[in-house]
Amino acid sequence: MKEGRILSALLGLALILLGASYLVIQFIPGLAAWVRPAFWWPAIIIGFGGFFVLAGLLSGAHGLAIPGCIIAGIGTILFWQNATGNWASWAYVWTLIPGFVGMGVLLSSLFSGKVGEAIAGGGMLMVISLVLFAIFGGLFGGLRLIGVYWPVLLILAGILWLLGTLFAVLRR
């Protein structure tokens, strides 16, 4: 029951903050030009993700950090794409989503006091996600820094994979 009250209080606080911000904009119209809902709409998605993470931390339902990180991460991607107009980047930025899952697993495990699981589970997903992001970004021309060297990332990913497999076999 305690979790329900905490979530309810957080939702009430979010509604108060949202209403107060719109009220301030009505009384100070100059702020409306700075806020521009057409530009800031992804911030609402980021806020929902942060709400999930915070609710998971405060209520003890630590698993809420996983969907919270996914929602906030996608909101951050949308914020960047909306700001830059680079919507074609979806060809490679989707590879960051497993990293958002990894961040959620990491936070959930840390909130639960399971540091070993945090690094093993969440960390591996984040590394895989970043490698895929670099590979696809280089392949689709989004990461000009990598350019024609993206196959080297494939080779490094293969080496890391083989080393991980070798260490897993040796531990048994």
Parts of the chain with a pLDDT under 70: 1-7, 10, 32-39, 142-150, 153, 168, 171-172
Identity of the amino acid at 67: P
Cα gap 161→111, rounded to integer Å: 28
Cα gap 55→47, rounded to integer Å: 12
Which runs of consecutive H residues, i.e. helices, occur in 36-149? 37-59, 65-84, 90-93, 97-111, 115-117, 124-139
* pLDDT for 73: 95
Give the pair of three-digit tokens for residue 92. 């490679």
* pLDDT for 1: 47
* pLDDT for 97: 95
* pLDDT for 52: 87
* Chain centre to alpha carbon of residue 133: 14
* pLDDT for 7: 65
* pLDDT for 101: 94
Please state the domain extents for the chain.
36-171
C-alpha atoms less than 13 angstroms from C-alpha of 51 in its C-beta half-sphere: 20
* pLDDT for 48: 87
